[in-house]
Amino acid sequence: MTVQHTEHEAWMRLALAQADLARAKDEVPVGAVLVNAGQQLAAGYNQPITANDPTAHAEIVALRSAALVSANYRLPGSVLYVTIEPCTMCIGALIHARVDTLVFGAAEPRAGAVVSQLSLADKDFFNHRIQIVSGVLETECAGLMKDFFAARRRGKT
């Protein structure tokens, strides 16, 4: 295992902790951590239900917080760690924020817009390209979602 991969896992564990916060509020358990130069800028978890905000996905919450902290809507050089492959809205926001690298845990086969469905990060019509790293702590990230929805189907959430 390379040092970089170990570092990705450490940050992804913090994103998983954010996902647990979402799960505790009966939100879909997705968590995100935004890092720049080895320092955490912001973190977020899914909260569209509790915030009454359809845009309050973990990635957007983290981006908004980081932009405020940085006093800049652009976040060059940053790395976003998120437990699940981003949707269309979120990958669009990452591109507009000029996030350098996206690291995600598990694919989202239905609505993932990075590798599963639309592959938006690969489109050459955007004026910014994001580096993609996938599969970091994939089993843990996918398991969190699987367990959440299984419990919901059983009526336990």
Q: Which residues contact 81 (CB under 8 A, 6 or more apart)?
A: 8, 11, 12, 14, 15, 32, 33, 34, 35, 103, 104, 136
Q: Which two tokens stand for residue 84?
A: 């699940």
In 3D space, the residue among 50, 35, 47, 2 whose CA is nearest the CA of residue 15 turns out to be 35
CA 157, 29, 105, 4 dihedral sign is: negative
Phi, psi of 128, deg, nearest 5: -145, 140
Catalytic member of 7, 9, 27, 59: 59
Q: Is 125 exposed, middle or buried (0-12, 13-18, 19+ CB in 10 A)?
A: exposed
Residue 35 DSSP one-character state:
E
Tokens for 12?
A: 């992804």
Assess whether 108 carries a catalytic annotation: no
Catalytic residues: 59
